[in-house]
A and B are shown apart, each in its own frame.
Chain A
Amino acid sequence: MKEERIIIIGNGVAGITTARHLRKRSNCRITVISSESKHFFSRTALMYIYMGHMKYEHTKPYSDDFWEKNRIELLQARVDEIQPNEKQLKLADGETLSYDKLVIATGSKTATYGWKGLELEGVQGLYSLHDLQQMEINTKGIQNAVVVGGGLIGVEMAEMLHSRGIHVKFLVREDRFWGSVLPKEEGELIGNHLISEGIELRYQTELDEIIGEGKVQTIKTKSGETINCDFVGICTGVKPNVDFLRNSALEIDKGILVDEYLQTNLPDIYAAGDCAQLRNARKGRKAIEAVWYVGKMMGEVLGATLAGSPTKYNPGHWFNSAKFFQIEYQTYGEVPANLSSGQASLYWQASQKEKALRVVYESESRKLIGIHAFGIRLSHPQCDSWLKTGIQMSELINELPKANFDPEFYENPFPEVQQTFSRQLKEPQL
């Protein structure tokens, strides 16, 4: 019998986790095709390369001999087209490869919104290694930069530029930092931190147009203000990198539509990671979640499915983390920017330090639905188990110190948090 061949497009965390877990369970032939780099690297670490904390090779999660040892073939090439009827794909150099099963894990790309001047030199997003190289060139010797879009990549880009002494004007659409995700107090906490670091934050400011001759010189905001700059970072989000599949028979909305087994509408074709869009997302979770962990979890699921044990994607409670300059952030469960009806929250913020903690619960049952922290490390297993059991607020307040994951000898904020929360819980809910 001919050896089954599985081809994976994309060597990001989704594609590689699929390959690894498939290999743990199966002896089939695995080929990973990716255009960006030969080896898997951690996209989340791009900023650290620019800032000089690491070199590219340090960001590879596995050493270079891992692939041969695990018989995972790597092919650095670009896939131009998939031909599902023939069960084959076409590479940019014209070569065709046939597969038995195909995994599409092509990730995202920078989302832009049709602004004028995007093609100018010095205007770019940050997603790929190529973007990083571009940024190295575009920021050489410059003084002033504008970063558009107050999300996670935006703040990373601001920190990168800042580390090289480049003055950053940071345009944020909402009235606070990351207003679509963070509640007011937290958004302000981070905003003020960025300001204290020397970032010029512009709230409620949107990009209208980028102006320059060949190279960017100014931008115009929607309110008509012009800002001179040598660099514009576009960080207004990412979108699934699926354009090359648009005229195939694959069903695609924003991303490639997949069922709970991560299967597309076509037989033997699956999708995972940033490029996949769930037809039916679970309660409290989105159809596309462009984060590292989701790619990793989908890969684990898909590895099992491809190896013959069909497994549903069931990611459990949402979690995520980030770092805003010096402030670490971790979140578990649902902590919405604005509470919906039937939800209430308790919030503590240190008076001197940049630390905060919020819990969100159902007002009726007083059961926990989300917790996040700034400047305090929380234990993932602990928070997850509270979310699973739906712990009551009064009990949670007692137990809270169990979630402390700060390094030893750190000042313990929990007694104060507990006091504040107990007091707030007694106050009448608005």
Chain B
Amino acid sequence: MKVNSSIAIANGPPVSMNTLQKIGAAMGTFGLLIVLISATSFDFPNPALWLTIALTAMAGGIVIYSKGLYDHKSAGIQNDGVWLKSSSNRGLIAWMSGIALTVFYILLYFYPQTLGLREGDNVGIISLFDPLSKLLSGNPASQWFIYGALYTLCIAFFGVKFFWKYRHNRYQKLRTISVVFFQTAFAFLIPEFMSRLNSESFALPYYDLKNIWPLNYYNFYGYRVDEFISAGSIGTALLIFGILSILVITPILTYFYGKRWYCSWVCGCGGLAETAGDPYRHLSDKSLFAWKVERWVIHLVLVFVVLMTSAVIYSFLHDDPSKYWLGPDAFLMGMVGILILVFGLVWFFRRDELKKDVKIAAPAALIVILGLVGIHYLFDQRLFLFDPYKLREWYGFLIGAVFSGVIGVGFYPLLGSRVWCRFGCPMAAILGMQQRFFSRFRITTNGGQCISCGNCSTYCEMGIDVKAYAQKGQNIVRSSCVGCGICSAVCPRGVLKLENKEDTGASRYDSNPITFGNGEVKLNP
């Protein structure tokens, strides 16, 4: 039997740390400090040793902290004090961590030399990581290697923390194992090993296989396509895999399982949000206004990435037609064909479910794109009017760096963990559209059991007002839902269940405005 006195947090809200948590926090900070000291270009005598110490301290610190946090509590929902703590309630600690993360991202993307990146021998933080990089790929580290290593460390060890937190919930545990696996193997180790295979005559591009275009917006840039092709049949296979990923694999899996198969089981952005970002999930904005912004912004990013990628591919196919099997015009027609097909499918089968603004915005977007293609051919203007390489640069800067990194992760402690996934990610936009219209996935509401307590909405990282559906007895079918399952977990009344059921049409989200079981009442008597 557990004795209550082990919980040394009498007096006031449960916000103070216990001894284990303090030890864990101290260890983690120590590890981080080593990294920071190396940033001052202090040369550690034995970088391999110090790096090992730093990484072990950080990883061990997280694990010990988690043990202190959860081990003495019985398995179950662990949200005590979430809104009372400075770190998770946009207090001073949250602002400080937000600023620190943001600064890190700015340095990473725009000033890698401050981290010690050099043409010759690296210095600073980057040199600290050289031993690990050389061990894996044989090459010296770069800022991206450090980023990848720290990112993976975060997912893996905050994954341990998350696992502990949800140890009563197998859905959460399996999902966490999955994201940790995909991050460690696919995003981090395999590409490093792949580059070990590279030689003078054979070079594969750095390829995280699970990172699918358009999230991986650079996958079909000319230099990568060239690398793929020049790497013979393996390279070509990888290139084809990249195309099939978005055109075939994604639609099939999303049809059966909803977008969650990617967003909360595989994807690295999702992986970080679900693990390191978990303490901030409740900070997502639930207002109707935020939902409106979300729908516009994410789809505009999608249009942007489609235009940008098409322009880039078109231009390199155009500039060097002899090099490629596919001609620029055939490519462009293919793109246009796919767009019309997708649009046609939605319009034909699901027109009645489109909201008013979508009925205007979607055809408008299609007409603009077709119009731009038309202008290109008829008036011999540049495709999409802009220099493709400028488009590419802007996209990389605005979306790739600022949105997904600086805002997306830097603002975790202030805006919640899924800002990028919700407002920015074009992959999420594609998956979401399919989830909304052509998928078996839904969150089923259990009859009349909802007590409108609000836990589900509060802890939905995507800012979905789950309760608004549940209290009406309506299933939740929302394009943004990443299927994290937390709403279902925190619901104290067993109301929500994530399911893949056969019916995919409108019956998926029939609403019943009368409480289940309330016999005599009819809405339209």
**Using a CB–CB distance below 8 Å, which chain A residues touch chain B?**
13, 24, 42, 44-45, 48, 51-55, 58-61, 63, 65, 140-141, 143, 162-167, 195-199, 292-293, 296-297, 300-301, 304, 309, 311-317, 319, 321-323, 325-326, 328, 330, 377-381, 384, 405-411
Contact = CB atoms under 8 A, between A and B. Distances in A.
Which 8 A-B pairs have CB atoms at the shortest separation, nearest pair first? A380-B447, A198-B4, A326-B76, A377-B494, A316-B517, A45-B453, A165-B10, A52-B84
Interface string B491-525: 01110011100000000000001111111111101
Contacts of B3: 198
Interface string B458-493: 100000000110010000000000000100111011
B455 A409 contact: no
Contact of B493 (A54, A321, A407): A321
Given A63-B287, A314-B519, A326-B74, A51 B451 contact: no
A325 B520 contact: no
Interface of B: 1-4, 7-14, 74-77, 79-85, 168-171, 174, 287-288, 446-449, 451-455, 457-458, 467-468, 471, 485, 488-490, 492-494, 497-499, 513-523, 525
A323 B492 contact: yes
A165 B76 contact: no
A328 B494 contact: yes
Given A379-B446, A406-B497, 20 more contacts: A42-B453, A52-B83, A53-B77, A61-B468, A141-B12, A164-B11, A165-B14, A198-B3, A199-B4, A300-B518, A301-B520, A311-B521, A315-B517, A377-B494, A379-B447, A380-B448, A381-B447, A384-B516, A407-B488, A407-B497
A311 B488 contact: no
A164 B12 contact: yes
A317 B448 CA distance: 11
Contacts of A293: 448-449, 451, 515
Interface centre among A59, A164, A317, A378 (most CB of B within 10 A): A164
B452 A42 contact: yes
A44 B453 contact: yes
Given A51-B80, A195-B1, A198-B4, A297 B518 contact: yes
A48 B467 CA distance: 15
Contacts of A328: 492-494
B521 A45 contact: no
B79 A53 contact: yes
Given A198-B7, A323-B493, A44 B13 contact: no
A42 B451 contact: yes
B169 A407 contact: yes
Contact of A165 (B8, B455, B490): B8
Nearest to B496: A407
13 contacts: A45-B452, A45-B454, A45-B455, A63-B287, A165-B14, A293-B451, A297-B515, A300-B521, A309-B525, A312-B520, A315-B517, A316-B519, A410-B170
Contacts, number: 198
A163 B14 contact: yes
Contacts of B520: 301, 311-314
A162 B14 CA distance: 10
A44 B493 CA distance: 11
Contacts of B171: 407-410
Contact of A197 (B14, B74, B168): B74
Contacts of A300: 514-515, 518, 521
Contact of A42 (B11, B168, B454): B454
B2 A319 contact: no
B170 A409 contact: yes
A13 B452 contact: yes
A45 B490 CA distance: 13
A325 B4 CA distance: 14
A140 B453 CA distance: 25
B79 A52 contact: yes
Contacts of A53: 77, 79-80, 82-83, 455, 458, 490
B14 A140 contact: no
Contacts of A163: 14, 80-81
B464 to A, nearest CB: 14
Contact of B7 (A165, A317, A322): A165
A198 B449 CA distance: 29
A61 B498 contact: no
B515 A166 contact: no
Contacts of B169: 407, 410
B512 to A, nearest CB: 10
Interface centre among B77, B498, B516, B520 (most CB of A within 10 A): B520
Contacts of A316: 517-519
Contact of A196 (B1, B447, B458, B488): B1
Contacts of A167: 4
A210 B525 CA distance: 55
